[in-house]
Amino acid sequence: MRDVAGTDSTKDAIDVGPSPAVLLVRPQMGENIGAAARAMKNFGLDSLRIVDPRDGWPNPKAHAMSSRADDILDNAALFYTTPDAVADLHAVFATTARSREMEKPCLSPREAVADMRRRLGEGQRVGIMFGAEKAGLDNDDTTLAQAIIQIPANPAFSSLNLGQAVLLVAYEWFTSGPVPAMQPAGDSEPVSLDELNFFENRLEEELTRAGFLKPPEKRPSMMRNLRNIFRRANLTGQEVRSLHGVISALIRREEDE
């Protein structure tokens, strides 16, 4: 059996080694989830995470659209929040048409895939985030990422269907070659995003207590700016533990005074 513009659908799958997880954040239509799963299957991605889907999960419309990518949908992990979905990862790439005036590296799909393969070769766990069909990723979602992926498109009409966006990034992944051989990553592996989020929340709590995050209406944007600094830094677990120590030392000094 042959599929449209494709190869024999009965052919054995190709083992492409470690690969990034695909995260669909608040997807609205089951059909688009199915199209994303099909694109993943086409190009060797098999780990799907779904965050707060509008129409619930599982969704029969997703299976109908997936064209035999049922295994990806059946094994998809469901999360209620984006921080939970990225907690065990070391790096996340946010696919968005807008830079949102955040100080983050802005990469083409090809550049992003090269960075992903390097990280995977170092033993890191990596994810690619895609936003909802109507509005894409919000600022808080994008803040969680180390870098932004922008797919080159007509500036007057740059919005892509969710399945199309996954397809384009997955194609770049598949055609970019195998993951490099494992390389030592130093004495401490990169911090997981769960650990980093815990540190950032602790920092926010202490900055609030110290009266730094004022006025209140600017607190969200101030914290997003701080979080972006830490996401760009690619911190190791040991470095984050050292930052915890800095906060603890400052608290003790304040209590002693």
Tell me if 140 sits within 8 A of 197, measured CB to CB: no
| Mean model confidence pLDDT for the chain | 88
Strand ranges in the chain using DSSP code E only, listed in sequence order: 21-25, 48-51, 77-79, 91-95, 106-107, 126-130, 147-149
Does residue 199 carry a pLDDT above 70? yes
Predicted confidence (pLDDT) per residue in 24-58, tens digit? 999 999 999 999 999 999 999 999 999 999 999 99
The CATH architecture to which 21-175 belongs is 3-Layer(aba) Sandwich (3.40)
In whole angstroms, what is the distance from residue 122 CA to residue 186 CA?
10
- Which helix (H) or strand (E) covers residue 82, if one does? helix 82-86
What pLDDT was estimated at residue 246? 94
Beta-carbon neighbour count of residue 251 at 10 Å?
13
Predicted confidence (pLDDT) per residue in 90-141, tens digit? 999 999 876 657 788 999 999 999 999 999 999 999 999 999 988 889 999 9
Does residue 237 carry a pLDDT above 70? yes
Q: Which amino acid is it at 17?
A: G
Predicted confidence (pLDDT) per residue in 166-184, tens digit? 999 999 999 998 766 655 5
Does residue 191 carry a pLDDT above 50? yes
What pLDDT was estimated at residue 103? 84
